[in-house]
Structures are given as structure tokens and as C-alpha cells.
């Protein structure tokens, strides 16, 4: 499959592609995430050689993103963005100064969505859709 001049190759449950001399592996291709609105401004250079923090209860969406951008970031760590809702012993971080990706399930009537507040990217999606939403964010960060 080709998307914006990039060839995507299906290998089992994954899609592989090469972009700017870097190999990437995703669970979804851009056509499978095209219906997800990703109104974020951050690009890969915004994460280059910096720490990327995660606020999430699950590991699989984190792994999807890390598998692809780990060569570019300095390191990754869990984080809390407020003291009240922090259930782990993670450092308290701020959207104004730290790169943070927050992945959570929406509340009862809340729609699935992606939005950005300063350096924080919020992904509100059902657990079954979180990896697809992460891939949509990854394609946006890469500029695909």
C-alpha cells in the first residue's frame, strides 16, 4: 500500500515502512486511522533528545509509540500531572515544560478524541482503540 508516496508493507498484524531513512512498524496504516482527527502541533523534532513522559494505566499503546520514536528521544518515564489523581510513585510533571502523553478511557458519555494542551497530548479512547489512536498521533508527529 502507498500513502503520500510512502510504501507500507503488511507483515502479519503489523505495517512496516521507511520514512526519512528510518524504519517504522505500526499496527495500523494511515488509511486505517484517517477518520481520527489529530489536532496537534508537535512534530518529531519537538521530542528529539528529550524525555517523553506517559500518564496511562496500560502498556500496549505506550509500546506502540515507543517502538517507533525511541531512537529519537532521550528516554521515557511514567509521570503524574496532578497530585490528586496520581496512583503511582511517579514524578509530578507539567504540560508547560515537559513532553507528556496522557492516554485514558473516556468517561461515560465523553467522545473519543485527541487534543493538545501546551506540551501535553491527551488521547481519550476506549482501550480497544488506543493503539489505533496512538498510530494516528504517530503519523501526525512524523508528518505523514
Give 50-87 pLDDT, tens digit per residue. Answer: 999 998 876 777 788 888 998 899 999 889 887 656 77
Residues 6+ apart with CB under 8 A from 11: none
Question: Is the model more confident about 21 or about 88?
Answer: 21
What is the per-residue DSSP string for 90-125?
A: --B--TTTSEEEEEE---TTPPPEEEEETTEEEEE-
38 neighbors 137 (Cβ within 8 angstroms): yes
- pLDDT tens-digit series, residues 10-46: 999 999 999 989 999 999 999 999 999 999 999 999 9
Candidate from 78-87, 92-101, 124-133 with smallest mean pLDDT: 78-87
Average the pLDDT over 1-12 and give the result: 96
- Alpha helices by DSSP H, listed for 1-144, are 30-33, 60-69, 130-142
If you average pLDDT over residues 122-128, what whole number do you get? 94
Q: How much is the pTM?
A: 0.92
Amino acid at each position: 500500500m502507498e500513502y503520500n508516496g510512502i510504501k507500507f508493507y503488511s507483515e502479519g498484524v503489523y505495517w512496516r515502512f521507511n520514512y526519512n531513512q528510518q524504519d517504522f512498524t505500526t499496527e495500523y496504516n494511515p488509511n486505517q486511522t484517517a477518520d481520527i482527527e489529530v489536532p496537534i502541533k508537535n512534530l518529531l523534532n519537538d521530542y528529539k533528545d528529550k524525555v517523553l513522559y506517559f500518564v496511562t494505566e496500560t502498556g500496549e499503546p505506550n509500546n506502540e509509540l515507543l517502538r517507533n520514536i525511541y531512537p529519537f528521544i532521550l528516554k521515557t518515564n511514567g509521570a503524574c500531572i496532578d497530585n490528586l489523581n496520581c496512583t503511582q510513585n511517579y514524578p509530578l510533571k507539567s504540560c508547560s515544560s515537559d513532553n507528556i502523553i496522557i492516554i485514558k478511557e473516556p468517561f461515560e458519555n465523553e467522545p473519543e478524541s485527541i487534543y493538545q494542551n501546551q506540551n501535553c497530548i491527551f488521547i481519550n479512547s476506549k482501550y480497544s482503540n488506543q493503539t489505533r489512536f496512538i498510530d494516528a498521533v504517530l503519523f501526525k508527529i512524523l508528518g505523514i
